[in-house]
Amino acid sequence: MNKEIFKSYDIRGIFPEQLNNDTALKIGQAFIDLTKAKKVAIAFDARLSGNDLFKHLVSGITSQGADVFDIGQMPTECLYFAVANYDFDAGIMITASHNPKEYNGFKMLVKNGTEINIIRGKELLTVALAGNFKEAEIKGKILQKNIVKDYLDYVFKFVNFNKIKPLKIVVDCSNGVAGNIFKEMGDRLKNEIFLLNYEPDGNFPNHSPNPLMEGSINNARDEIKKEKADLAFIFDGDADRIFMLDENGKMIRADLTLLLLAKHFLNKYPASNIAYNAICSKAVPEFIKQWGGQAIRTQVGFVNVRDGLLKNNGVMGGELSGHYCFRDYFYLDSGLMAFLSLLEVISAENKLVSELIKELSIYANGGEINFKIENKEEILNKIKEKYSDGKQDFLDGITVEYADWWFNARASNTEPLLRLTIEANTPEILEAKKLELSKLITE
């Protein structure tokens, strides 16, 4: 068994070199040993290895006497809904999210009373390595469960469709599983929707399942121009991440999309807490405070944003990866809830998307820059010393703030990379500081 596939948040690796059928079986056994679950919901995305992994994972689960409820090829958020809404004890999503097609993996949940807890990959590793699994005298059963109508009814009850204007919308499903949901929506949404790459295909023939990869926005951008659409959305492979494009086909940075959502939810639930992570724009906490909310700053990573939401009874949260989680959705992420809420926001503002974003883009932001280096801690110490005259904090890596600019430098948990985010009051300061820091890191 390859220990490297057991990540901080989930299990993920290349099939079958790193993650294979035998490992899937052991993971199924270990999952029941760890959670003591009796009823486990399972869904899978469009990946070509999904069927093989499903069979062996299920074999491991049922060998321990637990029943499996197959909810089919669905977005990850549908698994969340199934575990929260029905009498299941736990759930596993077979997915590698936005990774390239040769990858696959497992996202795992367990229900404790009314709480949904995420099982981290590393939590399962010790149990899986022990491997002392005794088969149950009575094997578990495999049953089917169709959740789509209940799921759509649940999400739609949080949306005021009367407030959504007849916007022309492009939706690119990236040949992932979002298309399965949009095909089931029927006429619930009255907008004119131009659906792209909606057939699930694990080869991802049209572009990467990661919307942030170069070329991923081309289909949507071209369709906006062709149909004179008002905006576009792109979902990732398992549809839990969503990105927005304006009427010109420009990708909107996810922390600015977070601000649109924050404004909407603060209107619905005044004076609420909104979670964001340490590399989001400084504009995020500033606008949240201006709109009467409380900004909760967390470490990078969806699980950390969710923890911040839970601990502070927040109403919603988000981060630059395009994950948005909601109190109304079991404190978990929902691409569909984000999609529908953004349609309400844009309809209410009665402005072009580009105009809305311009109002929120009050700083020059350089995005995240990655440096391939091995001596990450040494470099971080050097940065700490050089910028000791700034306001420093160490929530995630090192963040240093000055009057007219700030930056965050942090080490990747999984790769020999140092990640750098810089934001400044002007483009000129941004470029100067980018050059200064890059020189310090690479010398």
The total of other beta-carbon atoms located within 10 Å of residue 101's CB is: 20
Between CA 112 and CA 123, with CA 117 as vertex, the angle to 5 degrees is 110
In sequence order, which residues have a C-beta less than 8 Å from that of residue 341 and are 6 or more positions away? Answer: 158, 159, 261, 264, 265
Distances (CA, A) of 348 to 164, 331, 352: 8, 25, 11
Catalytic residues: 97
* ω into 416 cis (within 30 of 0): no
Distances (CA, A) of 278 to 44, 282, 299, 342, 422: 31, 9, 6, 23, 12
The total of other beta-carbon atoms located within 10 Å of residue 408's CB is: 23
Handedness of CA 333, 338, 341, 345 (dihedral sign): positive
As a residue count, the chain comes to 443
Distances (CA, A) of 126 to 1, 33, 110, 132, 206: 12, 11, 18, 11, 39
Do residues 38 and 66 lie in contact, with contact meaning Cβ atoms separated by under 8 Å?
Answer: yes
**What's CA 26's distance to the chain center, in Å?**
27
What's the CA gap between 197 and 186, in Å, rounded? 18
| Two tokens, residue 34 | 């760890």
DSSP structure class, residue 24: H
| Two tokens, residue 92 | 């596993």
For 331, phi then psi, to 5°, come to: 60, 30
Handedness of CA 112, 90, 155, 317 (dihedral sign): positive
Distances (CA, A) of 14 to 21, 156, 213, 216: 12, 36, 19, 22
